[in-house]
Chains A and B, each alone.
Chain A
């Protein structure tokens, strides 16, 4: 706060102690208040936004905590050193997963038959692989076949019922269920979803463990340390919006396919927290690592030679200094995260930004909702940064 002044110490008034840019904001405050008090559109917009505030705040706080835990775990992984059996354990695990995944590929294939009239609608049962239904839709299964439209059926019996009711002219069913006498148009053998999805999952993990084990063997670093580095590099290279779209739309579908619909992430808060935490864990890990590495090795050696235990070294030597180093960047992450929660609006959660967009779309008047949202975010971030500065001053004062 105090800058060196060549003309010697100068008496500073109350206003002089406030950051100049805050002074401008303070002067503007009455104008903003007048705007909200005088203009009914702004009042309506603000009232509409405020319910979103609870979501924005809870997703930020919970996401921050989870990101901190994940970040600490990643930073811890980076500190691991290679044990005697580590590489062998990883390679063994990879082989096991690979065998299990490969074994599933040998599952006997299922057969499906397209039977019925060559034109008209086709009844298609839920869960039929996309590749097969696309082939029928485009008429790609046989040269010169017509494009077909579909009617979805929840199970085989319903498909047959549709055929009876003449709502469809053809069915796509296992051969034993096709009514006798219905002309066969196409027959295909394929790996059923119940084998293909877990197999893909197992093989992907086998490849990951195998590659990590191999890299560890080459570099003599711990495979989990390599994984943590990889995670940090990859996630920091992906825009937050893409991470959110992935967690919001792709991951729930993948989990549903993999578990046959037994597990589904439906809760907005859970998905928001997951997306934010997965994205920010990478940055948090880097901050924690930098904090720990900033303590000179000599200090740790010195405290050990003075007879301190490992825990005492961490508690009295490393952590007090590391906390002071990581606190400012950790605070900055909190503010960045608070602002990035606005991106969650693309997956339809009811945060402040989504509420502003809904208000704008309904009234076709964009200034009041977006100005209100900006004011809400500025109030939140400025309060957060003031709070952080207070904490920083306290930790520095104890020096």
Chain B
């Protein structure tokens, strides 16, 4: 009886897999800027963990591949992918038209909103305080992100400072070098918890950015990943992972 149950469960797990693309256990090099909690970061044990890691693992369970996460700098991550340094990139990447010219995107797997994080004593600052006429408030962001683009649109290049990582931008915020950090709300919530009692996210919902996995142009593995993504969306895995990593505060 017990053996039958095990066989039945195995069949249930296996059946959707049969319907899917199969990458034959291929090892995929996944480029990722692992300084961006909760999407991808290195935990105290030195392992790369996060939402993106779990998503890629879950998809790979379905389409039979083996992800190998490679830490890389965000600066130049797309040209590096286009030149074949990685098989794909999973790094909380917003889908944009400029990036789409040199790489390909999967279907969106999460939609995030951009927000402005400020020091707790500046909790009353509004978006208008940053963008209004005569404002001298500065914003920080990570170089080469959609957040940096939006920041430039909001306050102009002169009042926007760009850093290698969002962690550096948040440190600059704590040190008083900038007055706000423009960042995806999901990551903002993670930094607020990390620097307890120092930061707040009062300006939310500036835009909504769909995030996608990134592939080399015309690489056929993206079809397999799109199928795998649809499968984990359908069976509820994606929703579970979202609930696991993004405990919303507001």
- Residues of chain A from 299 to 357 with CB closer than 8 A to chain B in the complex: 346-348, 354, 357
Other-chain contact of A264, B99, B176, B197 (Cβ < 8 Å): B176
Task: Say if the beta carbon of B192 comes within 8 Å of chain A.
Answer: yes
Q: Please give the distance in Å from A126's CB to the nearest CB on chain B.
A: 5
Q: Is the CB of B171 within 8 A of A249?
A: yes
Q: Is the CB of A354 within 8 A of B162?
A: yes
Task: Say if the beta carbon of B130 comes within 8 Å of chain A.
Answer: no
Q: Is the CB of A149 within 8 A of B247?
A: yes
- Residues of chain A from 127 to 153 with CB closer than 8 A to chain B in the complex: 127-128, 130, 133-134, 137, 149-153
Task: Say if the beta carbon of B221 comes within 8 Å of chain A.
Answer: no
Contacts A125-B197, A130-B196, A154-B120 known; A249 to B249 CB distance under 8 Å? no
- What count of chain A residues pass the 8 Å CB interface test? 36
Nearest A-chain residue to B96, judged by Cβ: A364
Task: Say if the beta carbon of A198 comes within 8 Å of chain B.
Answer: no
Q: Is the CB of B120 within 8 A of A153?
A: yes
Determine the distance from Cα of A126 to Cα of B199 in the docked complex, in whole angstroms: 9
Q: Please give the distance in Å from B50's CB to the nearest CB on chain A.
A: 17
Which chain A positions have C-beta within 8 A of B174? Answer: 253
Contacts A150-B196, A152-B196 known; A121 to B249 CB distance under 8 Å? yes
Task: Say if the beta carbon of A358 comes within 8 Å of chain B.
Answer: yes
Contacts A154-B120, A357-B143 known; A364 to B172 CB distance under 8 Å? no
Q: Is the CB of A126 within 8 A of B176?
A: no
Q: Is the CB of B193 within 8 A of A149?
A: yes
Which chain A positions have C-beta within 8 A of B149? Answer: 362
Which chain B positions have C-beta within 8 A of A127? Answer: 197
Which chain A positions have C-beta within 8 A of B240? Answer: none
Q: Please give the distance in Å from A380's CB to the nearest CB on chain B.
A: 23
Q: Is the CB of A249 within 8 A of B175?
A: yes
Determine the distance from Cα of A137 to Cα of B143 in the docked complex, in whole angstroms: 30
Task: Say if the beta carbon of A124 comes within 8 Å of chain B.
Answer: yes
Q: Is the CB of B175 within 8 A of A348?
A: no
Task: Say if the beta carbon of B76 comes within 8 Å of chain A.
Answer: yes
Contacts A124-B197, A150-B196, A152-B120 known; A361 to B143 CB distance under 8 Å? yes
Task: Say if the beta carbon of B153 comes within 8 Å of chain A.
Answer: no
Nearest B-chain residue to A123, judged by Cβ: B197
Determine the distance from Cα of A134 to Cα of B197 in the docked complex, in whole angstroms: 11
Determine the distance from Cα of A264 to Cα of B169 in the docked complex, in whole angstroms: 17
Q: Is the CB of B120 within 8 A of A253?
A: no
Task: Say if the beta carbon of A252 comes within 8 Å of chain B.
Answer: yes
Task: Say if the beta carbon of B16 comes within 8 Å of chain A.
Answer: no
Determine the distance from Cα of A346 to Cα of B167 in the docked complex, in whole angstroms: 12
Determine the distance from Cα of A125 to Cα of B120 in the docked complex, in whole angstroms: 9
Which chain B positions have C-beta within 8 A of A153? Answer: 120, 197
Task: Say if the beta carbon of A175 comes within 8 Å of chain B.
Answer: no
Contacts A124-B196, A346-B164, A348-B163 known; A360 to B172 CB distance under 8 Å? no
Which chain B positions have C-beta within 8 A of A137? Answer: 193, 196
Other-chain contact of A256, B121, B176, B196, B197 (Cβ < 8 Å): B176
Convert B75-111 into 0s and 1s, putting 1 for each residue whose CB lies closer than 8 angstroms to a CB of A.
Answer: 1101100000000000000000011011000000000
Nearest B-chain residue to A261, judged by Cβ: B176
Which chain A positions have C-beta within 8 A of B193? Answer: 137, 149-150
Which chain A positions have C-beta within 8 A of B76? Answer: 360-361, 366
- Residues of chain A from 345 to 399 with CB closer than 8 A to chain B in the complex: 346-348, 354, 357-358, 360-366
Q: Is the CB of B196 within 8 A of A128?
A: yes
Q: Is the CB of A152 within 8 A of B143?
A: no
Which chain B positions have C-beta within 8 A of A360? Answer: 75-76, 144
Q: Is the CB of B121 within 8 A of A154?
A: yes
Task: Return the 9 tightest CB-CB contacts between A and B, nearest first.
Answer: A361-B144, A133-B196, A124-B197, A152-B120, A252-B175, A150-B196, A348-B161, A348-B163, A152-B197
Would you mind naming 17 contact pairs between A and B with Cβ atoms under 8 Å apart? A124-B197, A133-B196, A133-B197, A134-B196, A137-B193, A152-B197, A153-B197, A252-B175, A346-B164, A348-B168, A348-B169, A357-B143, A357-B162, A358-B144, A360-B75, A360-B144, A361-B162
New A-B pairs, 12, CB < 8 Å, besides A357-B143, A357-B144: A130-B196, A152-B123, A154-B123, A252-B175, A252-B176, A264-B176, A361-B76, A362-B144, A362-B149, A365-B79, A366-B76, A366-B79
Residues on A lying within 8 angstroms of B by beta carbon are: 121, 124-128, 130, 133-134, 137, 149-154, 249, 252-253, 256, 261, 264, 266, 346-348, 354, 357-358, 360-366
